[in-house]
Structure 1
Amino acid sequence: MAGEKKQETIDPEAVIGQSLPHKFDVRGAETPENGLRSFDGIASSSISKNADDSYDPHEHRNSPNPTTNTETLIHMLKGSLGTGILAMPNAFCNSGLLIGPIATIIIGILATYCLHVLVKAQYKLCKKLKLPLLSYPMSMKYALERGPGWSKFFAPYAPGIVDGFLIIYQMGICCVYIVFVAENIKQVTDQYFSPIDVKIHMLILLLPLVLINYIRNLKLLAPFSTVANIITFVGLGMILSYVFDELPSMAEREFVGSLRNFSLYFGTTLFALEAVGVVIALENNMKTPQNFGGYFGVLNIGMTIIVVMYIVIGFFGYIKYGDKAQGSITLNLPNDAIMAQSIKLMFAISIFITYALQAYVPVEILWTTYVKHRISSGKKLFWEYVCRTGVTVVTFIFAIAIPRLGLFISLFGAFCLSALGIAFPAIIEICVMWPDTGTANFYLIKNVLLILFGIVGLLVGTYVSLNDIVNSFL
């Protein structure tokens, strides 16, 4: 069958997030220039509801450089330890010292469970379609085609909707990165030169950001990404040395935050913990993808380590800095200490490098899916660079307009990941298991509750974040 032809998969070593190598269609199939058909040609009528159980998608995947379980775990940690973990003290400031760890564990379990749901549903869908793998947008499309009658109406629009959330989320991350790098550099340079506005620092960063986003083959950035990973772990250790120095008493901190501020905590923590694009990329590229799930699989082990690290940084960071905890704990470090300045510069360099990796995702979706086929062959390279420049400029403009790091993180976490990480996986599972999920079926009830929770988190978190962003300018 055509679906059994060899395919490339996502290389997580080169890209963090739902990124795709060149000549790989963002919707899940190899591009026509490779000589293979696109999966977009599959009609809903061709999807057999009595698929041959002997077909195993895992056996038909062909990755040129598959990762082992240990390598996958390392990549997962690398993809989850960025600006999110540095924002956890600020998140605990909104939740309280008692509620913070408990809620982080609950959100961690919820995020992990939803990732399991998504990966299992994609596997079942690939098995029914006899395809080695599908991207997130196309998984949503073909799942809706298999679902109840009402879902078929939304199927043609599903890829665009998922792409939209992915683009907004990834560009939101890029905005956060610009603000993060500029604010950390400003704190260091202000000690040695005349202080200048953080927006000037962003403007200085614009050209380097454009140039680094011009790198079309991200494998060239792989060595820098490895260095960035080492910097992150060393930097976190150095931060903890400051945190544990003369740690105040827990009695000086709030144990329970306000209900209103909890939505900010929720958005920040979800932004930090949920990495749906990373998870899909890693599972697709594993040598033994069957070891990704399970009670002691790579996903559970990785998320356990991540949740523990986030709680440690958030809990003790909040004890140390209290309600003065900023959107990144690096901004709370002493401005005049050489070691603290080194930490800020280290993380600024690390996040600057990672900007190119995160910006690659919206560029690839926009260029490959919506622009490339509209451009004549002789001008494609020029317009691709225009697209890359445009993405960088847009993220720069938003970073300049809303330089509120903590609120930025909370906004994009609540708006995008409530949908991508909670509601959409539940919708996909309902449709993939249909009609086995009856009106009283446990899976149906459970997934409906997840969808409602995701919608409430999206609406409330987005409203509170936007309200606080507006009030911060008043």
Structure 2
Amino acid sequence: MDVMRPLINEQNFDGTSDEEPEQTLLPVQKHYQLDGQHGISFVQTLMHLLKGNIGTGLLGLPLAIKNAGIVVHEGFLESTVFVSNSTDPSHACERRSVDLRVYMLCFLPFIILLVFIRELKNLFILSFLANISMAASLVIIYQYVVRNMPDPYNLPIVAGWKKYPLFFGTAVFAFEGIGVVLPLENQMKESKRFPQALNIGMAVVTVLYVSLATLGYMCFRDEIKGSITLNLPQDMWLYRSVKILYSFGIFVTYSIQFYVPAEIIIPGVTARLHAKWKRICEFGIRSFLVSITCAGAVLIPRLDIVISFVGAVSSSTLALILPPIVEILTFSKEHYNIWMVLKNISIAFTGVVGFLLGTYVTVEEILYPTTVAVAGAPQGLSLNVNSTCFASGLK
């Protein structure tokens, strides 16, 4: 009996075939799809989770309290954690001969080089060092606001309703790391331990969010700016170092946040390219995406407005609108529960309202910015309130 052999010997076949193009095409490769043999450890996952959630948004939360009041802000932060589980300036915004946008562009080549790192495990050392530097800067910030806090008796419990959209965008933007949650779980060697890492990480994040937001506003009150680092004294090296330390942390945060859109966009674009051009095309796409976010920072150099706008548009979509809709579509047929549907509808509705109002208010502020005269500046010079030397953290 003759043994049937394949028509095409994959190892020794030198001819041509009508199906050859299909055989030469490689499947779309995604770095986050693992077989359990490779990946990141529990500690690495926790470091990346903390790094992804502690960024520019944390420094802007005291301004969110100003726009909402203490009671509204604390309640919203805690409920958002339950529902969803910038580089700061290196110099004071004083008179300078070089335009702020030039400083922003100087960071662009370094960020492009950073996002060329394709694997999360290769970012662990940078992520660890960034967490250390940000922890040191936060300790300095906490000791300053605690030692210089005035009597909180006259603080407003609730702010005017017209400021709520700005508060919504800033508060939701703080949860900037929600997009890296699932990729981190898929990257873990022991994915069963991910809930433990998530609980520890989000507990730390929640404590930092609530405490720094409250203490920061209680210290600086109506003088609070888009980033609390802008309120620190500029005549002492200790507080200047805060901006440098935190800037390094934000610098690394960008690469972790960038991992998710890169894994979604790049494999689909490069799947049908020749192997010789894949790497070149991938680096080109990464450079282009980074340049887009840099262009946004250059065009809108107000950190407070950038945070509110990005939070209202993208963060509300990722954290409040899409997750409940996906849960309804996924589980409604198998485990239909009217309370689950009502819960998800209410969450999505809140996200849509915040999306519309927050976008409207921030776009209006971008088109008609508030300007103030700068004390000691040349006559006729005015600056945007809370303007910063570099605005990053865009999603």
The alignment status of 1:418 with 2:321, answered yes or no, reads no
- Which residue matches 1:455? 352
| Contact kept in structure 2, 1:415 and 1:462, CA below 8 Å | yes
CA distance in structure 1 between the aligned counterparts of 2:275 and 2:29, rounded to whole angstroms? 20
Please list the CA deviations of residues 228-270 of structure 1 after superposition, one character each: whole Å capped at 9, or x if unmatched.
1100111100111111122111124322111121222122111
SS of 1:98's partner is: helix
- Which residue matches 1:187? 92
SS of 2:91's partner is: helix
Please list the CA deviations of residues 163-217 of structure 1 after superposition, one character each: whole Å capped at 9, or x if unmatched.
xxxxxxxxxxxxxx3xx34xx12328x69xx553211211222333333334445
Of 335, 358, 367, which aligns to 1:470? 367
Q: Percent of aligned positions with the same letter in both sequences?
A: 33
Instruction: Report deviation, 1:34.
Output: 10
| Contact kept in structure 2, 1:94 and 1:258, CA below 8 Å | yes
Q: Greater CA deviation, 445-454 or 326-335?
A: 445-454
CA distance in structure 2 between the aligned counterparts of 1:385 and 1:302, rounded to whole angstroms? 32
| Contact kept in structure 1, 2:168 and 2:308, CA below 8 Å | yes
- Which residue matches 1:283? 185
- Which residue matches 1:12? none
Of 163, 172, 185, which aligns to 1:270? 172
Of 100, 119, 143, which aligns to 2:73? 100
Of 294, 297, 302, which aligns to 2:201? 302
Instruction: Report deviation, 1:373.
Output: 3.2
Write the letter of the residue equivalent to 2:289: V
The alignment status of 1:211 with 2:113, answered yes or no, reads yes
SS of 1:309's partner is: helix
Write the letter of the residue equivalent to 2:287: T
- Which residue matches 1:111? 84
Mapping of 1:222-301 within 5 angstroms? 222-273=124-175, 275-286=177-188, 288-293=190-195, 297-301=196-200
SS of 1:326's partner is: coil
Instruction: Report deviation, 1:282.
Output: 2.9
SS of 1:422's partner is: helix
Q: Greater CA deviation, 348-357 or 310-319?
A: 348-357
Please list the CA deviations of residues 293-331 of structure 1 after superposition, one character each: whole Å capped at 9, or x if unmatched.
5xxx54344323322211110001001111221121111
CA distance in structure 2 between the aligned counterparts of 1:320 and 1:231, rounded to whole angstroms? 23
CA distance in structure 2 between the aligned counterparts of 1:299 and 1:380, rounded to whole angstroms? 35
Normalization by structure 1: what TM-score? 0.66
Change (3 A) 1:389 1:248: same
- Which residue matches 1:402? 300
Normalization by structure 2: what TM-score? 0.78
Write the letter of the residue equivalent to 1:466: V
| Contact kept in structure 1, 2:170 and 2:311, CA below 8 Å | yes
SS of 2:271's partner is: helix
| Contact kept in structure 2, 1:93 and 1:323, CA below 8 Å | yes
Structure number with bigger Rg: 2
Please list the CA deviations of residues 326-357 of structure 1 after superposition, one character each: whole Å capped at 9, or x if unmatched.
12111111111110111111111222233333
Change (3 A) 1:362 1:288: closer
Instruction: Report deviation, 1:360.
Output: 4.1
| Contact kept in structure 2, 1:248 and 1:319, CA below 8 Å | yes
- Which residue matches 2:36? 62
- Which residue matches 1:332? 231
Larger helix percent: 1
Instruction: Report deviation, 1:380.
Output: 2.8
| Contact kept in structure 1, 2:28 and 2:271, CA below 8 Å | no
Change (3 A) 1:282 1:216: closer
The alignment status of 1:443 with 2:345, answered yes or no, reads no
SS of 2:90's partner is: helix
CA distance in structure 1 between the aligned counterparts of 2:49 and 2:138, rounded to whole angstroms? 17
Instruction: Report deviation, 1:73.
Output: 4.0
| Contact kept in structure 2, 1:111 and 1:274, CA below 8 Å | no
Q: Unpaired segments of 5 or more residues in structure 1?
A: 1-31, 40-59, 113-176
Root-mean-square deviation over aligned CA pairs: 2.9
Mapping of 1:351-370 within 5 angstroms? 351-369=250-268
| Contact kept in structure 2, 1:437 and 1:443, CA below 8 Å | no
Change (3 A) 1:355 1:449: closer
CA distance in structure 2 between the aligned counterparts of 1:214 and 1:75, rounded to whole angstroms? 17
